[in-house]
Amino acid sequence: MAASAWYKEMAVYQIWPRSFADGDGDGIGDLRGVLEKLDYIRDLGVNAIWFSPLYPSPNADYGYDIADYKDISPDYGTLAQFREVLEGAHTRGLKVFMDLVINHTSDQHTWFRASKESGDSPYHDYYFWRKGRGKKPPNNWLSVFEGGAWDYDEGLGEYYLHVFAKGQPDLNMANPKVREEVKDIMRFWLDMGVDGFREDVITYISKREGLPNGFPLPIGTGLEHYTNQPSVKDYLREFRDDVLSRYDCFTVGEAPMMTPKTAKQFITEGADQLLNLMFHFQHMEADCILTDWIPTPFRLRKLKKAFSSWQQGLRGVAWNALYLENHDHPRIISRYGSEKYRVESGKMLAAMYLLQCGTPFIYQGQEIGMTNIRLDGVSQCKDVVTFNNEKLFRKFGIKGERFLRLVNRRSRENARTPMQWSAGANGGFTAGTPWFPVNPNYTEINAAAAEADPDSLLHWYRALLKFRRESPLALYGDYREHNKASRQLYVYSRGREGQRLLVICSFTEQPVRFAAPLGFDLLHATQLFGNYAAPETQSNQFVTRPYECRVYGWL
Ligand code: GLC
């Protein structure tokens, strides 16, 4: 049995500040906007907010390229306003987590600027500066975002490494001075009262000595030399011992390509726990290969396998982070659900993940069922990944309309449209001109309409979160998957001290015959949740309606 802890019982709301709420009418979300929405967040029933980066940034990657770790971007407000938000959140019982992006800085950060002044600069070794191999870059690594992973600096006659965009030079974490800077940043925010961090691509922060060539691939060359190197754990241990262990704080690390087995090296509870939770990507690959941009038909069995292996793999030793959306993925209803059955499938997806064992994260707009946008052209796009893929896919003959269709289905742009607050102008997001198009479906899909409709997704999220919060069974119960072979139904149960829950989720609009697993007598259960009116008489078998979800309890 896992020990209880506050972070296990919380639910977290993620804010991507640029598109959340604009308080000053300049078309960009800001802290004034957040301040006005704190009651909305509290009323959802979460206990924490994770802010995607709020720091000053030239926005090569919308804040994930940080120019100053100890300030707030003028786009979003001031440090004083941040303190107000922090206090307002704390007063409402909401913890606040910052995004800690330490794999790289912005190329506009003073460290990077100083690092390229000369090879003798004390900052030179903060980054990876190397001579080329003749006219070629120092090795064959590819950037996750933009062509090669090296960029040449004429002045210095050296290349610098950027695993992500050109404007995101990688920090050399092997340099103890860089680690001192990281600790200093952590202390700065923790001393201000911040409650923890979401640590961006944390398993990338160490590079193999000598930066050897990677196995050549069309994408991702070099990955094996910068993912999950042994020193990542040493660095995390140092951050924990010198800083984090001295505060009652929380950490969740983002870790592409993570498996439960490897995750346990970081999040196993006990004396050498390095992070509280880890974001993995395995359940985000049920309709694609490696990246969202290489789509396949949705395969429920792949999804179930991913969830179950994490539920079972971490059982009793570590704790899951549960999410379906964030700023890096298209909207979940448009992916694993159905825009035609938007509310039904949205409710089903919410119950499917919120009732598993773990700490749930909810991304802004997910709770009102926002969907993907249909942009008119790539000229409307804003994301470096879209621009990079435009070049990449062109090589494979995918361009024009075909590429745009892919963007509208698969890009991160979909997650970054402004939050839809009302049916008023610009969805109530701004009184000015929004920095990025509001999805025209805001007239129908918005928080005000959801508030007014007792059957809305918003009320469903609130009810599920309340149930989870108050139920030791939902929080700590064990997990068992049923009907494993089904390609349409995801069925699992939770159990604790003689109490049980059965969660039945249909992933299709087709009718599917469901028969309760042995030992689960629906006739003696209470139906706790259902996204359709409950049947008058229960039976141990039923035929599902489109994207139907039912939750039965033996309490
Ligand atoms: C993480 C962030 C993503 C960002 C990348 C580089 O994956 O979630 O938004 O682009 O790291 O910092």
Domains of the chain: residue spans and CATH: 6-103+176-373+419-462 (3.20.20.80), 110-161 (3.90.400.10), 476-554 (2.60.40.1180)
Measure CA 167 to chain center.
22
* Distance of CA 164 from the midpoint of ligand 1 (Å): 8
Q: What is the pLDDT of residues 273-293, one digit of tens each?
A: 999 999 999 999 999 998 999
Q: What is the pLDDT of residues 208-250, one digit of tens each?
A: 999 999 999 988 999 999 999 999 999 999 999 999 999 999 9
Residues with CB under 6 A from ligand 1: 61, 64, 101, 164, 200-201, 254, 327-328
Task: Kindly state the average pLDDT of the residues 501-526.
Answer: 97
* Residue from 15, 51, 61 to probe ligand 1 pocket by mutation (most atoms less than 8 Å from CB): 61
Which residue is listed with tokens 């600027």? Answer: 113
H helix runs in 292-383, sequence order: 300-314, 332-335, 342-354
Minimum CA distance residue for ligand 1 atom 9: 328
Q: What is the pLDDT of residues 289-301, one digit of tens each?
A: 989 999 999 999 9
pLDDT score recorded for residue 1: 46
Residues tagged active-site: 200, 254
Minimum CA distance residue for ligand 1 atom 3: 328
Task: Kindly state the average pLDDT of the residues 507-520.
Answer: 97
Minimum CA distance residue for ligand 1 atom 5: 64
Neighbours of 320 (CB within 10 A): 26
Task: Kindly state the average pLDDT of the residues 118-130.
Answer: 97
Task: Kindly state the average pLDDT of the residues 467-481.
Answer: 98
537 CB-contact burial (10 Å; exposed 0-12 / middle 13-18 / buried 19+): exposed
**Cα–Cα distance for residue pair 104/89, rounded to 1 Å:** 29
* Distance of CA 332 from the midpoint of ligand 1 (Å): 18
Find residue 289's DSSP bridge partners. Answer: 291
Amino acid identity for residue 34 in this structure: V
Residues 6+ away with beta carbon under 8 Å from 471:
none
Ligand 1 atom having least distance to the Cα of 256: 7
pLDDT score recorded for residue 157: 96
* Distance of CA 165 from the midpoint of ligand 1 (Å): 10
Of 461, 464, 520, nearest to 493 by C-alpha is: 520
Ligand 1 atom having least distance to the Cα of 65: 12
Q: What is the pLDDT of residues 86-107, one digit of tens each?
A: 999 999 999 999 999 999 999 9
Find residue 500's DSSP bridge partners. Answer: 495, 554
Q: What is the pLDDT of residues 320-363, one digit of tens each?
A: 999 999 999 999 999 999 999 999 999 999 999 999 999 999 99
Amino acid identity for residue 223 in this structure: L
The rounded percent of the chain whose pLDDT value lies above 70 is 100
Please answer whether residues 394 and 387 qualify as being in contact, where contact means their C-beta atoms are separated by less than 8 angstroms: no
Radius of gyration of the chain (CA): 23
* Residue from 100, 107, 164 to probe ligand 1 pocket by mutation (most atoms less than 8 Å from CB): 164
Ligand 1 atom having least distance to the Cα of 165: 6
Cα separations in angstroms, 424 against 438, 440, 447: 12, 11, 11
